[in-house]
Chain A
Amino acid sequence: MNDDTQLERYLAGDTSLDALPDALQSEERRLKALVDTVRHDEPARAELFESVMQTVSTSSTPAWKRAVDWLFNPREIRVSPALAGVALAVIAAAIILVPSVEVPTGDAVAGTTPEASGVVTRFVFIAPEARSVSLTGDFVEWDADGIPLQQPQTNGVWTLDVPLEPGVYEYAFIIDGQEWRPDPLAMASADDGFGMENSVVIVAEGRT
């Protein structure tokens, strides 16, 4: 067995250092000693732990979700009977006294509502077997719950319209609350840094 083969067997862990020929053994010990001079055994600094935990504690609930929770979670509001009476009187007066207001329709309304301030972008995912499909991405800080897509009636096509400001976004779908999948219909993809791919959507001005 030549030196190359023996070295390969050693590197693969199939044989020990002591089993190598003397010259090769000496060379390997020397190389290991040299590489060992750059060994760093100092532990991580305490600030690392503190920074990570501070970041994760503030990012565990995204701001948009906190806002949604604040809007939709029922809460108890205490109002004195006197204040409630005044409020009811003001509302009644407004209905009776204020002349009818012409309400703009169609695009005029849509263009002024905060929800429609972005470009409405449709996300589609075909999954006839799925029990739920959610959308997550950098526009929701990769929230693990995601935004639920609308459940299909028959054809397994899940859809969701999201208003997004013009820009480039990465996203993925979460199937049944667990499995993350890229969008097979995406216009582009990007390495997600975890050995998988994110889908990419480019939202242009005026796209609906």
Chain B
Amino acid sequence: MTDLSDAAIVARVLSGQTDAFGVLVKRHQDSLIAYARHMGFDDATAHDIVQDGFVRAFRHLQRCGDPDRFDGWVFTIVSNLCRTVGKKRSRRVSEDLEAHADHLEAEGPGPDERAEAGIVRVHVRRALDSVPAEQREAIVLMYLHGHSVREIAERTDSSVSAVKMRLKRGREALKHELEPFMAEEAV
């Protein structure tokens, strides 16, 4: 069954073969988990969000207008959940990152490259977190998931021009936040 298209599997699930849904889960779970993590959620929360997303997708599978694009549809569900959960957690995530950054900075730059890389990573996460959600989403989907502007527009239900603008503004904001690290030797 693993060689069937998403549309064929969706049809099987809708006809009552609940187990077939597992193929869709295995096929798309890694990219969705990566996306949720990239949007700033810790591992446990990312798993909770994606699990909730798949369960919602199953319960509302008849609403999947184009089963060939199941991946985009389930992505939309997870993306919306990320926004909902993000609104509730944004303050706490920022506070956690601040605490983590302070802790790493207190250690100071030393010979330990992992510690330095950790500092950079925390600053990048903090910078991404400071970018407005829609711009962050566009940046993550392009830089980390390799999607084109058109693909991002489809996945986020936005116009191509809106995505271009989000990318441009998000990139500017990110560059500004990461100014101290823009020199080559910073990492």
Contact = CB atoms under 8 A, between A and B. Distances in A.
The reply to whether chain A is a binding partner of chain B is: yes
Interface of A: 7-8, 11-13, 26-27, 30-41, 43-45, 47-49, 51-53, 55-57, 59-60, 141-142, 144, 174, 178, 180, 191-196
Contacts of A11: 142, 149, 164, 167-168, 171
A140 B29 CA distance: 28
A40 B55 CA distance: 23
A38 B47 contact: no
Interface of B: 14, 16, 18-19, 21-22, 25-26, 29-30, 32-34, 37-38, 47, 50-51, 54-56, 58-63, 73, 76-77, 80-81, 84, 117, 120-121, 124-125, 128, 139, 142-144, 148-150, 157, 160, 164, 167-168, 171, 174-175, 178, 181-182, 184, 187
B18 A174 contact: no
Ranked nearest first, the 5 interchain pairs of A and B with the lowest CB-CB distance are: A44-B29, A40-B37, A44-B33, A56-B58, A52-B54
**What's the dominant secondary structure at chain B's contact region?**
helix
Contacts of A178: 62
B177 to A, nearest CB: 10
Nearest to A56: B58
A39 B121 CA distance: 10
B38 A38 contact: yes
A52 B171 contact: no
Given A49-B26, A56-B21, A60-B18, A36 B62 contact: no
A82 to B, nearest CB: 42
A34 B55 contact: no
B47 A44 contact: yes
A31 B171 contact: yes
Contact of A48 (B51, B63, B160): B51
B84 to A, nearest CB: 7
20 contacts: A11-B142, A11-B171, A12-B160, A12-B164, A35-B144, A44-B33, A49-B29, A52-B21, A53-B19, A56-B21, A56-B55, A57-B19, A59-B55, A60-B16, A144-B59, A144-B60, A180-B63, A193-B56, A193-B84, A195-B157
Given A27-B182, A52-B51, A196 B164 contact: no
Contacts of A53: 19, 21-22, 25
B60 to A, nearest CB: 6
A22 to B, nearest CB: 13
A142 B168 contact: no
A164 B26 CA distance: 38
Contacts of A7: 168, 171
B25 A52 contact: yes
